[in-house]
Each structure stands twice: as structure tokens, then as C-alpha cells.
Amino acid sequence: MSRLVVISNRVAVPKARGVAGAQGGLAGALNAALKDRGGLWFGWSGQESEDRTGNMNLQRNDGVTTATIDLSHRDIDEYYNGYANSTLWPLFHYRIDLTEYENETGRGYERVNERFAESVMPLIEEDDVVWVHDYHLIPLGERLRARGAKNRIGFFLHIPWPPTRLLTSLPFHERLVKTMLDYDLIGFQTQEWLSSFVHYCENELGASVDHETGRIDHEGRTVLARAYPIGIDWEHFQGLGAGEEAKAAEERLLASTRNRTGMIGVDRLDYSKGLPERIDGIGRFYDQHPERTRDLIFIQIAPPSREDVESYQHIREVLEQKTGQINGARSEVDIVPIRYVNRGYSHAELFGFFRAAKIGLVTPLRDGMNLVAKEYVAAQDPEDPGVLILSEFAGAAHQLGANGEGALLVNPHSPDLLARAIAQALDMPLAERKSRYEAMIGTVRDDNVRWWTTEFCTDLAEG
Ligand code: ADQ
């Protein structure tokens, strides 16, 4: 089997592995992929330095080599906080109201992609298979080709692909998308995002598309585009669930909620996750059922992320205000309806919290997949499972909410519909909880991160 070279914005170097917090789903998934195959993982160290000598930090651990470079203050500002997280992230999550259209940051984005190519190219060997990840590095494949890479190179987009009419609001959108045709394989989380991409290629680029195989031809270049829904590291997560840390966390939450039903949300603090809208829905539930304030306690765990970006500072203020209002209006000396926790927890602790909470609330306004939804299901007791309330706009809804079975699907924009789903979940009989759980657990267990990696890497290697 050829060696795997993974390239992503950030690399989880060994000593940082397993660290709780805003590391995100991507790091966990890639760790598992590289552990299985052995290989190299290249990316930004997360550190700032003005040193442009191209110094690289190499570490070897468990058959995986990590190679990282630092970025300058200007690079971080323009590439990471700027184009990636203030332009592409909001736009790809359908938020053109939050999208910044600055050419300057676009140039910084291209410059850092070029820098990545320059740094990683000497590490790539002839037979390596190269796998590039996410919106930070869309043009990297083209930059590697320009430097002579003949390897199989694949790209996976972890976030949604926006509808064509939104994407065309981006200056130089054609230039960005055309760079993707230098990959051999492009993976999306769902058929929905894949269809949007194909629509763009046909209608904006005039590419010819074979809808059966996903083959896209344009100006002499050919790329395959397919959907590969990412999964969780099932075995690892179950292993954590059997351990002491998870048990202690479960007991801790159960003891603190006493006779009330715990409902949980776990998200990075990000406007795409629909947190203010979620709090509005919970507020509506308490307004409509004041007598149930004693039945239900909501725990929202949301560690801050991307704090240098203005829209992320704003979301934090909004959330504090909204939870404060509801708690102010509905608290008693012995009851606080919403616990809002601004920190991260280990996966083992999250397993325990998920298992203790009888309702999981995962209501992003738009999400590529959403691994929290799958983790919530994986942590349930099959004999007494909780209910997952899931946004219809999360990629995970395609797998977990199909045919009205599995999760209760909601429109996260509507406080009324959210309130109704919460009431339905609270009153749901055991038999229905079990049958909904059974509709989800197979795909969560089987279509896990190892399956995902194997599917993508096999297609990438074979073409
Ligand atoms: P994220 O937007 O980071 O990932 P998600 O898929 O939910 O979102 O992954 C989050 C991961 O971080 C989960 O493993 C979760 O347990 C962990 N996490 C979240 N909040 C946490 C907290 N408070 N404490 C500790 N851990 C926490 C992006 C895309 C997603 C896509 C993934 C993987 O936005 O749509 O599912 O990549 O492709």
C-alpha cells in the first residue's frame, strides 16, 4: 500500500492529541486514518513566527511523521482569520451576510497555499498518495502540480458546498473552482453538497459531467467527484465509554440534574451551529410549558473558537445575553433551567454526559456533517436510549433522519418547531426511543471513520 500524505491546515502533533476543546472533528478523524496506514501529516503548527527560513518541525510517533511550519502574523491574519474564516467559512455555510469580500486576504490565502506547496513538496515521494483537507487549502493541488507533483492527489471538503448563486457572489470564484480540477478525486460529505458542486461545474465552467460515475471533464482535465460521509472513530469512542472517566462524568451529570431530564448541546462556539436560535427554541418551550421548568434542564457546552474573528466575538455576547434572560426569568432558588459552559471536555467525559442526557440537541443552521450527532447516538444505552433532535440542514440528517425514522428532524430557524420537538422528545415512550435508536446505530457504527478513510483512499488510489 502506498504511503499516505495528509495535508491540512492544522496538525494534531502527538503531545496535543486527545486534548479537549475546540480541536474539531477533523483532527480526530485524521489521527485515526494515519494510525492505520502510517504516513506523513503536514500543516501549520498553530504558532506565529516571522522567521521565513522555512524551518520545519518534524516528529515521529506511532508510525506517523508530523511536519509543521509556523506562519507569520500577516499570513495568519490574511489566510486563516481572513480568507478562510471570514470569507470561505461564512459563504460556504450560506451566510453571505457575514462574508467579507477582501482581495487582500484572498492574496494572502494564495500566498500561504503556495508556501504550503513549497514546504511539503520535498517531503513527497514518487509513490505517495496525497490527501488534502478542507477549505483552507482548496488551491493546494494546483500549486503542487505546478511544482511537478505527478502523484494521485485527492481533496476532501469537510464543510458544505454552497449553491451556485451564492458562490458566484465571490470575486474570482471561477479561478478558485478551476484550481480544484487539478485533483484526481474530490470528496464531499453528502450528495447535496456534491450536487451543488456539479451544478457549478456544468453551469459556470461549462464542464461536461458523467452523473453516473461523477467524472468531470473540463479543458483537458478530469476529476472524479463523489460523496463520502465522514463517521466517528467508533471503536475508540466505545472504548472510552467503557472507562472510568466516562462513568464518572455520567454520574456527575445525573447527580446534578437529580429528577429532571437532562438535554445536552455540545458545539464549538460558531454561528453555523445555530446556538442563539437553539436558545430561542428552548425559551419558547418554557414559555409554552411553564409547568415543565422543573422537568427539563438544558446543558450547553460551547468552548470558544476563532476568537480573533469579529463575528465569533459577537456570537458569544449574543449567547450570554439570551441564556441570561431565560435564566433570569425562569430560575428559582433551586433551579437554573440553562447551564451554559464555555469550556471543552475530553471525549470520555462527553461520552458520559451524552449518556446521561435523555435528549441530544444538535441544531446547526448549516453543517457539513456534524460528528456530535453521531457521538450522541453512539453513547446511548440501547435498552434506554435518549432522543436525538437534529437539524435538517446538517449533513448528518441524510443518514440519521431518513424516512422519518431515527432522529427527530427540525428546522432550527423556527422556535416553535424546536419547542414542539423538545416536547415530543420529553414524552416519547421507550418503544419509540428504541426503534429510533435502532434506525441510527447501524450507520453510526459501520460507516465510521475507518470506513470513510478506506473508501476515499481506495477510490483515490484506483481512480
Ligand atoms: P466541526 O465544525 O468542528 O467540524 P463537528 O463535526 O461537530 O464540528 O466535530 C466536532 C468535534 O469536536 C466532535 O468530535 C466533538 O465531540 C468535539 N467537540 C465539539 N464541542 C466540544 C466541546 N465543547 N468539548 C469537547 N469537544 C468538543 C468540521 C465540520 C463538520 C464535520 C467535521 C468533520 O464543520 O460538519 O462533521 O469537520 O468532517
pLDDT tens-digit readout, 236-286: 899 999 999 999 999 999 999 988 999 999 999 999 999 999 999 999 999
Question: How many Å lie between the centroid of ligand 1 and the Cα of residue 261?
Answer: 24
Rg (CA), the chain: 22
Phi-psi region of 206 (alpha: psi -120 to 50; beta: other; left: phi over 0): left
Which pLDDT value is given to residue 33?
A: 73
Cell of 416: 416553535
Separation CA 282–CA 285 (nearest Å): 5
Across the range 309-318, mean pLDDT stands at 86
| pLDDT per residue as tens digits for the range 46-83 | 999 987 667 899 998 878 899 999 999 999 999 999 99
Across the range 379-404, mean pLDDT stands at 97
Nearest CA to ligand 1 atom 24: 344
Cell of 420: 414542539
Contact between residue 236 and residue 281 where contact means Cβ atoms under 8 Å apart: no
Cell of 144: 503542487
At residue 341, the 3 state secondary structure works out as strand
Which pLDDT value is given to residue 18?
A: 43
For residue 415, pLDDT over 80 is answered with yes
Across the range 423-427, mean pLDDT stands at 97
Domains in the chain, CATH or no CATH each: 4-231+449-462 (3.40.50.2000), 234-446 (3.40.50.2000)
Chain centre distance of CA 393: 13
Looking at residue 315, its amino acid is I
N-terminal to C-terminal alpha carbon distance within the chain: 15
List the helix and strand counts (H, then E) for the chain. 18, 16
Which pLDDT value is given to residue 395?
A: 98
Question: How many Å lie between the centroid of ligand 1 and the Cα of residue 90?
Answer: 17
Separation CA 61–CA 38 (nearest Å): 10
Residue 70 bears catalytic tag: no
Question: Looking at 158, 236, 270, 280, which residue is catalytic?
Answer: 158
Mutate to test the pocket of ligand 1, among 369, 374, 375 (most ligand atoms within 8 A of CB): 369
Nearest CA to ligand 1 atom 19: 267
DSSP string, 386-426: -EEEEETTBTTHHHHSGGG-SSEEE-TT-HHHHHHHHHHHH
Least confident of 27-31, 134-138, 168-172: 27-31
Separation CA 107–CA 115 (nearest Å): 12
CA distances from 151 to 4, 128, 131, 453 (A): 11, 6, 10, 18
At residue 5, the 3 state secondary structure works out as strand
**Cell 446543558 maps to which residue?**
299
Which pLDDT value is given to residue 366?
A: 98
With a pLDDT cut of 70, the percent of the chain lying above it is: 95
Q: What are phi and psi of 406, to 5 degrees?
A: 70, -125
Separation CA 321–CA 314 (nearest Å): 11
For residue 383, pLDDT over 70 is answered with yes
Which pLDDT value is given to residue 16?
A: 45
Contact between residue 396 and residue 373 where contact means Cβ atoms under 8 Å apart: yes
Separation CA 128–CA 124 (nearest Å): 7
DSSP state of 293: T
For residue 441, pLDDT over 80 is answered with yes
Q: How confident is the model at residue 14 (pLDDT cuts 50, 70, 90)?
A: low
Across the range 222-236, mean pLDDT stands at 95
Question: How many Å lie between the centroid of ligand 1 and the Cα of residue 96?
Answer: 23
Contact between residue 117 and residue 146 where contact means Cβ atoms under 8 Å apart: yes
Q: In terms of Cα–Cα distance, which of 382, 381, 368, 372 is closest to 347? A: 372
Mutate to test the pocket of ligand 1, among 232, 341, 372, 449 (most ligand atoms within 8 A of CB): 372
* Ligand 1: nearest atom to the Cα of 29: 33
For residue 23, pLDDT over 50 is answered with no
Q: How confident is the model at residue 19 (pLDDT cuts 50, 70, 90)?
A: very low
Separation CA 110–CA 104 (nearest Å): 10
Separation CA 463–CA 54 (nearest Å): 33
Q: In terms of Cα–Cα distance, which of 324, 256, 296 is closest to 288? A: 296
Question: How many Å lie between the centroid of ligand 1 and the Cα of residue 371?
Answer: 6
Mutate to test the pocket of ligand 1, among 189, 237, 266, 390 (most ligand atoms within 8 A of CB): 266
Nearest CA to ligand 1 atom 15: 372
Report the pocket of ligand 1 as residue ranges, CB < 6 Å: 20-21, 24-26, 28-29, 158-159, 230, 266-268, 301-303, 344-345, 350, 367-372, 375
At residue 187, the 3 state secondary structure works out as strand
Question: Looking at 134, 184, 280, 367, which residue is catalytic?
Answer: 367
Which pLDDT value is given to residue 21?
A: 37
For residue 24, pLDDT over 50 is answered with no
Question: How many Å lie between the centroid of ligand 1 and the Cα of residue 204?
Answer: 32
Residue 381 bears catalytic tag: no
Strands (E), 134-220: 152-156, 185-188, 208-210, 215-218
Which pLDDT value is given to residue 20?
A: 36
Least confident of 57-71, 343-357, 436-450: 57-71
Exposure string of 221-235, with b = 16+ CB inside 10 Å and e = fewer, is eebbbbbbbbbbbbe
Angle between helix 234-241 and 371-378 (nearest 10): 50
Separation CA 240–CA 235 (nearest Å): 9
Strands 185-188 and 208-210 come out as: unpaired
Strands 261-266 and 296-301 come out as: parallel
Separation CA 86–CA 79 (nearest Å): 9
Question: How many Å lie between the centroid of ligand 1 and the Cα of residue 86?
Answer: 19
Contact between residue 216 and residue 209 where contact means Cβ atoms under 8 Å apart: yes
Chain centre distance of CA 346: 17
Consecutive H or E run containing 41:
strand 39-48
Across the range 300-309, mean pLDDT stands at 88
Which pLDDT value is given to residue 290?
A: 92
At residue 326, the 3 state secondary structure works out as helix
Instruction: Mention every residue, 6+ apart, whose C-beta is less than 8 A from residue 432.
Output: none
Which pLDDT value is given to residue 262?
A: 96
